[in-house]
Amino acid sequence: MSITVVLYSHDSVGLGHARRNRALAHALAADLPRLTGQPVRGLLIAGHPDATADSLPEGWDWLVLPGFTRTAEGYASRSLDVSNERLSALRRSTAAAAIKAMSPDLFIADRHPFGVGEELLDSLVWLRSQGTRCVLGLREVLDSPEATRAEWARIGGAAAAAKFYHAVWVYGDPSVYNPISSGEIPQPLATRTRFTGYLSHGRPVDEVSGSSVRAPKPYVLSMVGGGSDGGRLALAAAQARVPAGHRHIILTGPQMPLPDHARVQRTVEASPDAARIQVTRLAPHVPALVREAAAVVSMAGYNSTAEIMATTTPALLVPRAARRAEQPRRARALAAVGAVDTLALEELSAEALSRWLAEAVVRRCDRGAVDLDGLSRIGALAAAELALRPAALPRTTAVRPTPGVLRAAPRPAEAPVPVPAPYPPAHVAHAAARCAATPLSAPAAETRFDSHVR
């Protein structure tokens, strides 16, 4: 007997959804066998081929659907010369075939409960008939409350999702940002929501290889996630002065448009610091690069931020302001608890980055007040869901919890969820964190310093 898990992410822009699921896969593979006494296998359904560059645990694999991408008019086929209708039908049928073939005990969807164009709906109906436990995984910030309400309404409201999803896992710390009290997660999903903590500590890290990015320490790091909309930040980083005695690594991301990447390279070649700047699209071991950097400049996507939060490296978040309010809201919330510094995109300049880098390389940042241990809780949350599966349904991969380890009980998610203090209203000026300047050689360099509100 074994436990089968299927995780889904739509991946139209960036790799954050797939990388969250990949982190979950490693956590489940590490913990579920110990908790249930059964081996675990799984499939990750993703929508971008770059996702497969990341390794998976033994017994797990990727299924990459033909991709959608975002355009000014909405979703469109990334590569295939087909209509949206044909691409949607292809994705829907492919996902359904894979899900039925795997017959999972646990299904986890990232962010979008019904997928792109409701491509998961048929599969969710089938999964419900099989008694599969279904979980909706959400990052801690979705969007502005107004935009999120409209998004829920487009899929029939939160009640429509609640028909299929037994639990909602929010990958964040409610004392930093609470999407229930902000209105981003409405009833009835709010009553079955559990906060895991940020998925920071324990993230999978690929081994350093001969092709891995290296730079003599000390160095500073600039990164823009997948890079599809990171051209402006990468260009400013290329124009910034490198702190004395340091090198500068700039990661432009695998999805940065070629003209933007080429412009960054040309700018570096013309820089007086060119000999100390290294530009590359991709690094397979970003968490290690962040941890060993003297300072990091980054956009404020969930995964980049989660990797930063697992370290003591001072960080400046420059959130994108287009499409969603997610990144600015995340940056404000983390700055308010002293975990990062922030710079609004409209204030971005090479001079601003130069000043921040010169000041940041002489300090470290203690983020111990934030719950960063979400990955250590995923196994127990999954085991609890598996223990609640209907025992009467015949399934070839049925989970039978080890006696004394897991006991079916009244579903805890039905209990009211305590709601922490609400997130400050949008009109409140954002906070600028200060992890104070302290010599790196002193033990106090790891101390957190007070934030202030401007």
What is the structure's pLDDT at 143? 96
**Rounded to whole angstroms, how far apart are CA atoms 299 and 142?**
16
Q: Of 327, 214, 213, 235, which Cα lies nearest the Cα of 281?
A: 213
Give the CA dihedral 259, 265, 271, 276, nearest 10 degrees.
160
Q: What does each of the 454 residues of the chain score in pLDDT, given as a tens digit?
A: 899 999 999 866 657 788 899 999 999 999 999 999 999 999 999 988 878 888 899 999 999 999 877 766 667 787 888 888 899 999 999 999 999 999 999 999 999 999 988 999 999 999 999 999 999 999 999 999 999 999 999 999 999 999 999 999 999 999 999 999 999 999 889 999 999 999 999 998 766 555 556 778 999 999 998 888 899 999 999 999 999 999 999 999 888 999 999 999 999 999 999 999 999 987 778 888 999 999 999 999 999 999 999 999 999 999 997 778 999 999 999 999 999 999 999 999 999 999 999 999 999 999 999 999 999 999 999 999 999 998 645 554 433 333 333 322 333 333 333 333 333 333 222 333 334 433 343 333 322 222 222 2
Tell me if 397 sits within 8 A of 1, measured CB to CB. yes
What residues contact residue 101 under an 8 Å CB cut-off, 6+ apart? none
Tell me if 20 sits within 8 A of 9, measured CB to CB. yes
Q: Where are the beta strands (DSSP E) in 132-233?
A: 133-139, 167-171, 193-195, 219-223
What is the structure's pLDDT at 261? 96
Q: Which domains does the chain have, with CATH numbers?
A: 3-199+374-414 (3.40.50.2000), 219-363+426-453 (3.40.50.2000)
> DSSP secondary-structure letter at 185?
S
What is the structure's pLDDT at 13? 60
Amino acid occupying residue 363: R
**Rounded to whole angstroms, how far apart are CA atoms 314 and 294?**
7
What residues contact residue 272 under an 8 Å CB cut-off, 6+ apart? none
115: region left, alpha or beta (phi > 0 left; psi from -120 to 50 alpha): left
Tell me if 249 sits within 8 A of 220, measured CB to CB. yes
The model's pTM:
0.84
What is the structure's pLDDT at 200? 97
Tell me if 347 sits within 8 A of 454, measured CB to CB. no
What is the structure's pLDDT at 12? 61
Q: Of 185, 193, 190, which Cα lies nearest the Cα of 152?
A: 185
Q: Of 348, 155, 147, which Cα lies nearest the Cα of 239?
A: 348
Q: Are strands 219-223 and 295-298 parallel, antiparallel or unpaired?
A: parallel
For 155, other C-beta atoms within 10 Å of its C-beta total: 14
Q: Using CB atoms within 10 A of its CB, is residue 177 exposed (0-12), middle (13-18) or buried (19+)?
A: buried
Tell me if 192 sits within 8 A of 413, measured CB to CB. yes
Q: Of 30, 64, 34, 32, which Cα lies nearest the Cα of 47?
A: 64
